[in-house]
A and B are shown apart, each in its own frame.
Chain A
Amino acid sequence: MGIRLLTNLVRFAVTYVIATVAVFFFMRAIPGDPAQIALGVNASPELLAKTRAEFGTDRPLIVQYFDWALGLPAGNFGTSYVTRQDISPLIIDRVQVSLILVVLAMLVALLIAVPFGTYAAVKHRNPSGIIISGVSQLGVAIPNFLAGILLVVVFAVGLGWLPANGWTPPGEDFGDFLARVFLPVLALASVQGAILTRYVRSAVMEVMSEDYLRTARSKGLGKLESLVKHGLRNASIPVLTVTSVQLAALIIGAVVIERVFVIPGLGSMLLDAVGNRDLLTVQSVVMVLVAITLIINLVVDVLYTILDPRIRKGA
Chain B
Amino acid sequence: MAKHAEAATLLEVKNLSIGTKTRTLVSDFNLSMAPGDRVGLIGESGSGKSITTSALMGLLPEGVTAQGSIQLAGYGGNLVEASDRELQKIRGKDMAMVFQEPLTALNPLMKVGPQVAEIMSSHKTVPSKAAARARAVQMLESVKLPDPERAARSYPHQLSGGQRQRAMLAMALANNPGLLLCDEPTTALDVTVQRQVLDLILESVTERGTGLLFITHDLSVVANVCDRVLVMNNGRVVEEGSTEEVFSNPQHPYTRGLLAASDLDATDAQGRLFTVASAAAYVPPSVREEPAPAERVPEEPVAAPPEPATVGEAEPAAQGEPSENPVISVADLHRIYPVSRSTLFGKPSEVHALRGVSFEVAAGQRFGVVGESGSGKSTLLRILAGLDQPSSGSVQVAGNQVSGAKERDLLQLRQQLQIVFQDPMGSLDPRMRVRDIIAEPLLAPGQKVDSAKLRKQVAEMLGAVGLPADAAERFPHQFSGGQRQRISIARALICEPRVLVADEPVSALDVSVRAQVLNLLSDLVDDYQLTLVFVSHDLGVVRYICDNVVVMNEGQIVESGTTEQIYENPQHEYTRTLVNSSMSLQNELALR
- Nearest residue (CB) in A for B171 is A219
- Nearest residue (CB) in B for A3 is B343
Q: Mark A16-33, 1 if CB is under 8 A from B, else 0.
A: 000000000000000000
One of B122, B340, B343 near A220 (C-beta < 8 A): B122
- Nearest residue (CB) in A for B340 is A313
Q: Is B567 an interface position by the 8 A CB rule?
A: no
CB proximity to B under 8 Å, residues A219-268: 219-223, 225, 229-230, 233-234
Check A7 against B343 for contact (C-beta < 8 Å).
yes
Check A211 against B99 for contact (C-beta < 8 Å).
yes
Q: Mark B96-136, 1 if CB is under 8 A from A, else 0.
A: 11010100111111100000001100110000000000000
Hey, which chain A residues are within 8 Å of B346, CB to CB?
3
Q: Is B225 an interface position by the 8 A CB rule?
A: no
Q: Is B84 an interface position by the 8 A CB rule?
A: yes
CB proximity to A under 8 Å, residues B65-95: 84-85, 88-93
Report A204 CB to chain B, min CB distance, Å: 15
Hey, which chain A residues are within 8 Å of B269, CB to CB?
none
A-side binding surface: helix, strand, loop or mixed?
helix
Q: Mark A197-234, 1 if CB is under 8 A from B, else 0.
A: 00000000000001110111111111101000110011
- Nearest residue (CB) in A for B120 is A219
Q: Is B465 an interface position by the 8 A CB rule?
A: no
One of B59, B104, B123, B345 near A217 (C-beta < 8 A): B59
Stretch at the interface among A53-61, A104-112, A177-185, A303-311: A303-311
One of A6, A230, A313 near B107 (C-beta < 8 A): A230
In the complex, which of the residues A217, A222, A308 has the most CB atoms of chain B within 10 Å of its own CB atom? A217
Report B152 CB to chain A, min CB distance, Å: 14
With the chains together, A223 CA to B62 CA distance in Å? 12
One of B59, B84, B106, B155 near A212 (C-beta < 8 A): B106
Report A189 CB to chain B, min CB distance, Å: 28
Hey, which chain B residues are within 8 Å of A84, CB to CB?
none
Check A308 against B109 for contact (C-beta < 8 Å).
yes
Check A4 against B105 for contact (C-beta < 8 Å).
no
| Contacts A3-B344, A309-B155; A234 near B91 (Cβ below 8 A) | no
Check A315 against B344 for contact (C-beta < 8 Å).
no
Check B84 against A223 for contact (C-beta < 8 Å).
yes
Check B104 against A6 for contact (C-beta < 8 Å).
no
CB proximity to A under 8 Å, residues B346-404: 346
In the complex, which of the residues B84, B90, B344 has the most CB atoms of chain A within 10 Å of its own CB atom? B344
Hey, which chain A residues are within 8 Å of B62, CB to CB?
125
Q: Is A10 an interface position by the 8 A CB rule?
A: yes
One of A6, A220, A233 near B93 (C-beta < 8 A): A220
Hey, which chain B residues are within 8 Å of A125, CB to CB?
62
Hey, which chain A residues are within 8 Å of B89, CB to CB?
220
With the chains together, A221 CA to B108 CA distance in Å? 17
One of B110, B122, B344 near A10 (C-beta < 8 A): B344
Check A218 against B92 for contact (C-beta < 8 Å).
yes
Check A234 against B109 for contact (C-beta < 8 Å).
yes
Q: Is B157 an interface position by the 8 A CB rule?
A: yes
With the chains together, A211 CA to B171 CA distance in Å? 15
Report A13 CB to chain B, min CB distance, Å: 11
Q: Mark A285-315, 1 if CB is under 8 A from B, else 0.
A: 0000000000000000000000111100101
Hey, which chain B residues are within 8 Å of A222, CB to CB?
84-85, 88
In the complex, which of the residues A6, A10, A216, A219 has the most CB atoms of chain B within 10 Å of its own CB atom? A219
With the chains together, A270 CA to B8 CA distance in Å? 81
Q: Is B493 an interface position by the 8 A CB rule?
A: no
| Contacts A212-B107, A230-B110; A7 near B344 (Cβ below 8 A) | yes
With the chains together, A230 CA to B108 CA distance in Å? 9
With the chains together, A217 CA to B84 CA distance in Å? 10
With the chains together, A222 CA to B59 CA distance in Å? 11
With the chains together, A225 CA to B57 CA distance in Å? 17
Hey, which chain A residues are within 8 Å of B110, CB to CB?
230
Hey, which chain B residues are within 8 Å of A315, CB to CB?
155, 158
With the chains together, A225 CA to B157 CA distance in Å? 24
Check A233 against B109 for contact (C-beta < 8 Å).
yes
With the chains together, A125 CA to B63 CA distance in Å? 10
Hey, which chain A residues are within 8 Å of B122, CB to CB?
219-221, 225
Report A57 CB to chain B, min CB distance, Å: 38
Hey, which chain B residues are within 8 Å of A210, CB to CB?
104
Hey, which chain A residues are within 8 Å of B104, CB to CB?
210-212
- Nearest residue (CB) in A for B116 is A219
Report A298 CB to chain B, min CB distance, Å: 15
Hey, which chain A residues are within 8 Å of B97, CB to CB?
215, 218
Please give the residue numbers on chain A whose beta carbons come within 8 Å of chain B beta carbons, in ascending order.
3-4, 6-7, 10, 125, 210-212, 214-223, 225, 229-230, 233-234, 307-310, 313, 315
Q: List 7 A-B contacts (CB under 8 A).
A: A6-B345, A215-B106, A218-B59, A218-B97, A219-B91, A307-B109, A309-B157
Q: A217-B59, A234-B109 given. 9 additional CB < 8 A pairs? A: A7-B343, A212-B104, A212-B105, A218-B91, A218-B97, A219-B122, A220-B88, A234-B108, A308-B108
Please give the residue numbers on chain B whose beta carbons come within 8 Å of chain A beta carbons, in ascending order.
57, 59, 62, 84-85, 88-93, 96-97, 99, 101, 104-110, 118-119, 122-123, 155, 157-158, 168, 171, 340, 343-346
- The 9 A-B residue pairs whose C-beta atoms are closest, nearest first, are A220-B92, A211-B104, A219-B92, A220-B91, A219-B119, A212-B107, A7-B344, A211-B105, A309-B155
